């Protein structure tokens, strides 16, 4: 039989026809797959990814089943996320059994993390630095409660109107605070920048948040963080604010894990990152329900539901939800002052740097979480204005956005916030 030669041009025509036909056939299925992406009412893509049987086996071999998570009850923003992760079963939905336990302060959490009795935790910048100094193997995977109010509060009838007024106090004015906490560092910075000498003009007394709330006699002031600060000023009306942390320190907390989890069970760390972001969205969708869950926690029984809701709005829903992304270099620079002060005052043994902090942050898990959501990773935290002239390692700071400045939540999403369609509250947003 004679072989028939098809002209080259004709062969290419047929080839392009076939490619075009395949594209037409495939296009509906691609669009259909995209259209079938399901989101919960609070914006989490479904179905949930499950941790592997091998990770469950490894956790059990370490005695880490259920996984134990430590958080602080009297610390706004952070407490809400942890309570929602726990009470809404967001980790159980991913196949991870957990036990959440509340503690009164960061130093108490450090003890159980160092011992290995807990494997994940929330910690403020001061206690987290202590872990780095001791070379405790931890990795931060999310940011909590950025710019939490820390305030110097005096009794309502006090003559003190500013930090400077403590200069020359005789006898020295007594200030109650949690030693080893971010409140102590705030007072140290505020005193230095206002020419007030610790040990001469003021003395610091270790005191739990619960004791601070009563504004006991014999104290001239307390240095409290929210919700204790707002409880004293807004609910009990027994004190007033004369100074705040914002000019001296950009506060942040870390949600972190022991580094062994990153090495041996990264899917467990991813589940923690995903649940953290999902809790952030759930709180954004249901702030009143979140406040109700908090009011049911026995550690928060002294706080009214109205105050708890105000705290949710201030520290969970005020900034764009992308505030949870761990910008390692930014926060490392912001903590540089803490590192220097702690070293100079012999509170830590090593001179830490911004790079030391950055090496203790693993942003890869939250990056993947954002990819699942279709969120763009922001270049900087959302509370930094576009034309901000300051530097995170140079205090005092020019004004930036805090709960004292913003009268309503930042809009989200805006142009540039998304990389693909995202649905929240039944409404779909396009990039």
* Same domain as 61, residue 204: no
Predicted local distance difference test score (pLDDT) of residue 37: 80
Q: Is the residue at 174 inside a domain?
A: yes
- DSSP states of 152-213: EEEETT-S--SGGGGTT-SSPEEEEE-TTSHHHHHHHHHHHHTT--BTTTEEEEE--HHHHH
* CATH (domain of 234): 3.40.190.10
Q: Is the residue at 1 inside a domain?
A: no
Task: For residue 393, give every residue at least 6 positions away whose Cβ sits within 8 Å of its Cβ, in sequence order, or none.
Answer: 333, 334, 336, 337, 354
* Same domain as 53, residue 27: no
Which DSSP letter does residue 216 get? -
324: region left, alpha or beta (phi > 0 left; psi from -120 to 50 alpha): alpha
Which pLDDT tens digit goes with each residue over 326-356?
A: 999 999 999 998 899 889 989 899 999 999 9
Task: For residue 356, give every residue at least 6 positions away whose Cβ sits within 8 Å of its Cβ, in sequence order, or none.
Answer: 132, 332, 339, 350
Last residue of a domain, one of 226, 244, 262: 244
| CA distance linking residue 350 with residue 132, whole number of Å | 9
Q: Is the residue at 3 inside a domain?
A: no
Q: Is the residue at 176 inside a domain?
A: yes
* Same domain as 103, residue 19: no
What range defines the domain where residue 13 resides? 8-36
| CA distance linking residue 79 with residue 300, whole number of Å | 10
Predicted local distance difference test score (pLDDT) of residue 46: 97
Q: Is the residue at 341 inside a domain?
A: yes
* Tokens read off for 367: 């990056």
Number of C-alpha atoms within 13 angstroms, CB side, residue 197?
Answer: 8
* Same domain as 423, residue 286: yes
Number of domains in the chain: 3
Which pLDDT tens digit goes with each residue over 307-326?
A: 999 999 999 999 999 999 99
What are the angstrom distances between the C-alpha of 360 and each of 120, 322, 344, 364? 14, 20, 22, 12
Predicted local distance difference test score (pLDDT) of residue 345: 86
Predicted local distance difference test score (pLDDT) of residue 285: 98
369: region left, alpha or beta (phi > 0 left; psi from -120 to 50 alpha): alpha
| CA distance linking residue 415 with residue 421, whole number of Å | 12
Last residue of a domain, one of 244, 277, 297: 244
Low-confidence residues of the chain, pLDDT below 50?
A: 1-35
Predicted local distance difference test score (pLDDT) of residue 36: 55
Predicted local distance difference test score (pLDDT) of residue 26: 44
Cβ(325)–Cβ(143) below 8 Å? yes
pTM of the model: 0.89
Closest CA to 251 of 72, 77, 114: 77
Q: What is the largest CA-CA distance in the chain?
A: 116
């Amino acid at each position: 039989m004679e072989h028939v030669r098809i002209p080259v041009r004709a062969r290419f025509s047929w080839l392009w026809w076939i490619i075009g036909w395949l594209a037409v056939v495939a296009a509906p299925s691609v669009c259909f797959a995209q259209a079938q992406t399901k989101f919960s009412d609070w914006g989490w893509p479904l179905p949930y990814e499950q941790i592997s049987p091998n990770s469950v086996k490894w956790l059990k071999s370490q005695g880490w089943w259920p996984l134990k998570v430590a958080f602080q009850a009297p610390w706004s923003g952070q407490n809400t996320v942890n309570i929602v992760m726990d009470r809404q079963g967001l980790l159980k939905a991913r196949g991870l059994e957990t036990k959440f336990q509340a503690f009164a302060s960061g130093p108490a959490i450090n003890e159980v993390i160092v011992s290995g009795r807990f494997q994940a935790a929330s910690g403020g910048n001061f206690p987290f630095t202590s872990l780095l100094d001791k070379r405790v193997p931890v990795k931060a995977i999310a940011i909590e409660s950025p710019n939490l109010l820390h305030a110097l509060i005096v009794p309502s009838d006090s003559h003190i109107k500013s930090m400077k007024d403590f200069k020359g106090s005789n006898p020295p004015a007594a200030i109650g605070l949690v030693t080893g906490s971010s409140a102590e560092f705030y007072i140290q910075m505020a005193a230095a920048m206002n020419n007030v000498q610790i040990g001469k003009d003021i003395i610091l007394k270790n005191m739990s948040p619960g004791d601070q709330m009563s504004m006991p006699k014999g104290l001239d002031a307390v240095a409290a963080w929210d919700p204790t600060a707002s409880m004293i000023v807004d609910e009990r009306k027994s004190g007033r604010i004369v100074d705040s942390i914002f000019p001296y320190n950009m506060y942040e907390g870390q949600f972190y894990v022991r580094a062994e989890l990153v090495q041996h069970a990264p899917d467990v760390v991813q589940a923690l990152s995903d649940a953290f972001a999902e809790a952030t969205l759930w709180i954004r969708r249901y702030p009143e329900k979140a406040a109700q869950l908090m009011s049911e926690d026995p550690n928060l029984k002294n706080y009214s539901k109205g105050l708890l809701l105000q705290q949710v709005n201030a520290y969970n829903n005020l900034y764009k939800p992308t505030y949870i992304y761990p910008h390692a270099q930014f926060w490392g620079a912001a903590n540089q002052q803490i590192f220097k002060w702690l070293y100079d005052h012999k509170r830590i043994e090593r001179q830490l740097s911004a790079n030391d902090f950055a090496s203790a942050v693993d942003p890869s898990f939250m990056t993947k979480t954002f990819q699942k959501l279709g969120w763009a990773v922001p270049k900087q935290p959302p509370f930094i204005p576009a034309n901000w002239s300051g530097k995170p390692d140079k205090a005092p700071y020019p004004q930036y956005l805090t709960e004292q400045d913003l009268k309503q939540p930042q809009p989200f999403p805006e142009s540039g916030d998304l990389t693909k369609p995202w649905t929240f509250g039944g409404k779909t947003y396009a990039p």
